[in-house]
Amino acid sequence: MPQHFDAVVIGTGQGGSPLAARLATSGRKTAVIERGAFGGTCVNVGCTPTKSYVASARVAHVARHAAAYGVQVAGEVSVDLAQVKARKDRIIGESRSGVEKWLRGTENLTVFQGHARFTGAHALSISGPDGQIVDELEASEIFINTGTRAVVPPLDGLERIRYYTNSTLLELTDLPEHLAIVGGSYIALEFAQIFRRFGSRVTVIVRGERVLAREDADFALAVQKVLAREGIEFRFGAQPQHVEPLDGERVRIAFGGDEPAVDASHLLFATGRKPNTDDLGLDHAGLAVNGHGMIPVDGELRTRVPGIWAIGDVNGRGAFTHTSYDDYQIVAANLFDGGQRSADTRIMAYAVFVDPPLARVGLSEAEVRASGRAALIATMPMSRVGRARERGETDGFMKVLADAQTKQILGAAILGIEGDEAIHTFIDIMTAGAPYPTLQYAMHIHPTISELVPTLLDRLAPLK
């Protein structure tokens, strides 16, 4: 007979884990199902490991430029990738075990390990590694938090070569001699800078004519300039046609026509992600996915089937750890606290963790122009920021856009040192719904990056 629960959470990512604990402490008999490592993408192959690599790469970069600060570093700076990986693994292990210990220690919460599939709208089976069903559950409330995985394009010759995704590249212990990266977005650029700073030769292969195609061109080109200055090579307008093995484990990426091939020791695909929805038995629950494999939800993150929610990357409402956690907060507020929160009113914000980081909230300049509304705009180079000059890191600039009538901030972006922290001044004021003079007249601490935000707002002028 199936085991009955009040609520079941599928997946222990950044939304699923706290939701499972909150459901259990609310008095619901709750189950959480995890088929892989506890903590989801962020802890295991996303934010935590990559940002530990970013930190190691920055230390190497700063050490190589120590003389500019009057600090002498004897000998050549080199990176031991095995030690970098070991540090990363320790950090992951602490986070992963922390999540598992938390969930297993939560009263009224039962942890199952295995692959969950719907057998009905409110029924699930759990299978082990051999595919055999080991448990069956029933619940009136089911929450899907199964995340996404890397996409590898179906290139001719792929089965004959060794290639990597963001997760498998993190398992290397020997530094690539030449890393080729297919893709020009966030993951691609973060890995490009990491491994270039580690000491690898890096070539980024971009289908379009610039990196970060979704960002305003001025920010994208500024990021590209920083990376190129560090020695990263770019191939634009290049679409790989097939791949083939060379001597040893080297690989050739060919483009067809007269476009010269790229020969590399390692090949990374950073070409997007797809949701883990194709093996959940969604049809048995009466659920369907959209053209991208996402599960459609309303503002409260409910699916079209009563009693089933989808949170995190799998619902298409945001592909970030913080949006997944915010999904949890929305569901929790509405279920337990009498709230009326909705993802429909969420202001999107994110960062690209290259160095310096690019952080953005709200609308881009291109989106504001497309809207046709009367708007104000201001920009300021990071070279005007005292803290940036003192740190010797003046790359980048700030930009803000505001509605000319309501004085509401429409969007802002910062490319520059600590921009991923300073952007929160804009996030908070936009979330509060306050007009820009509230921030413009605030007294900020000197010397900081954020202290130039009021000065930036002083520069607002009509967008032409």
Give the rounded percent of residues in the chain with a pLDDT score beyond 90.
Answer: 98
Q: Give residue-wise pLDDT tens across range 139-157.
A: 999 999 999 999 999 999 9
- The pLDDT score that the predictor gives to residue 248 is 85
Q: What one-character DSSP code corresponds to residue 28?
A: -
Burial of 19 (0-12, 13-18, 19+ CB in 10 A): buried
> Is-cis flag, bond preceding 356, omega within 30?
yes
Which one of 4, 65, 292, 446 is the catalytic residue? 446
- The pLDDT score that the predictor gives to residue 308 is 98
Tell whether domain 158-271 is in CATH 3.50.50.60: yes
Residue-wise over 43-54: b if at least 16 C-beta within 10 A, else e?
bbbbbbbbbbbb
Q: What one-character DSSP code corresponds to residue 127?
A: E
Task: Inform me whether the pLDDT recorded for 256 exceeds 90.
Answer: no
Q: Give residue-wise pLDDT tens across range 393-403.
A: 999 999 999 99
**Rounded CA separation 209/185 (Å):** 12
**Which amino acid is located at 50 in the chain?**
T
User: Of 450, 451, 437, which is closest to residue 403 (Cα–Cα)?
Assistant: 437
**Rounded CA separation 328/145 (Å):** 10
Q: Give residue-wise pLDDT tens across range 34-44.
A: 999 999 999 99
Task: Inform me whether the pLDDT recorded for 218 exceeds 90.
Answer: yes
- The pLDDT score that the predictor gives to residue 174 is 98
**Rounded CA separation 459/289 (Å):** 46
Beta-bridge partners for 243: 253
Cβ count within 10 A of residue 38: 25
* Cα–Cα distance list, 104 to 79, 94, 127, 144 (Å): 38, 15, 20, 19
**Rounded CA separation 16/329 (Å):** 11
Averaged over 118-132, what is the pLDDT?
97
* Cα–Cα distance list, 41 to 18, 146, 171, 238 (Å): 15, 9, 15, 29
User: What's the whole-number average pLDDT of the chain?
Assistant: 97
**Rounded CA separation 182/239 (Å):** 9
- The pLDDT score that the predictor gives to residue 270 is 98
User: Of 144, 274, 271, which is closest to residue 204 (Cα–Cα)?
Assistant: 271
φ/ψ of residue 5, rounded to 5: -130, 160
Strands 308-310 and 133-144: parallel
Q: What one-character DSSP code corresponds to residue 191?
A: H
- The pLDDT score that the predictor gives to residue 460 is 98
Averaged over 45-63, what is the pLDDT?
97
- The pLDDT score that the predictor gives to residue 257 is 84
Rg (CA), the chain: 24
**Rounded CA separation 22/99 (Å):** 14
The single residue listed with the structure tokens 């907060």 is 329
Domain definitions of the chain by residue range: 3-149+274-345, 158-271, 349-462
Q: Give residue-wise pLDDT tens across range 161-181.
A: 999 999 999 999 999 999 999
Averaged over 293-314, what is the pLDDT?
98
pTM, two decimals, is: 0.96
- The pLDDT score that the predictor gives to residue 117 is 98
SS (H, E, C) 327-389: HHHHHHHHHHCCCCCCHHHCCCEEEECCCCCEEEEECCHHHHHHHCCCEEEEEEEHHHCHHHH
Measured in whole angstroms, the distance separating CA 463 from the mean position of its chain's CA atoms is 31
Q: Give residue-wise pLDDT tens across range 323-334.
A: 999 999 999 999
Q: Read off the pLDDT band of 301 (50, 70, 90).
A: very high
CATH number of 349-462: 3.30.390.30
φ/ψ of residue 60, rounded to 5: -60, -45
Burial of 68 (0-12, 13-18, 19+ CB in 10 A): exposed
CATH T-level fold of 3-149+274-345: FAD/NAD(P)-binding domain (3.50.50)
> Is-cis flag, bond preceding 447, omega within 30?
yes
Q: Which residues neighbour 441 within 8 Å (Cβ) at sequence distance 6 or greater?
A: 454
Element (H, E) at 269: strand 266-269
Beta-bridge partners for 415: 358, 397
**Which amino acid is located at 234 in the chain?**
F
Cβ count within 10 A of residue 80: 13
Residues 262, 188, 388, CA angle at the centre, nearest 5°? 120
Tell me whether residue 446 is one of the annotated catalytic residues: yes
Same fold, 3-149+274-345 and 158-271: yes
Beta-bridge partners for 34: 113
* Cα–Cα distance list, 316 to 127, 248, 277, 295, 312 (Å): 27, 41, 12, 7, 8
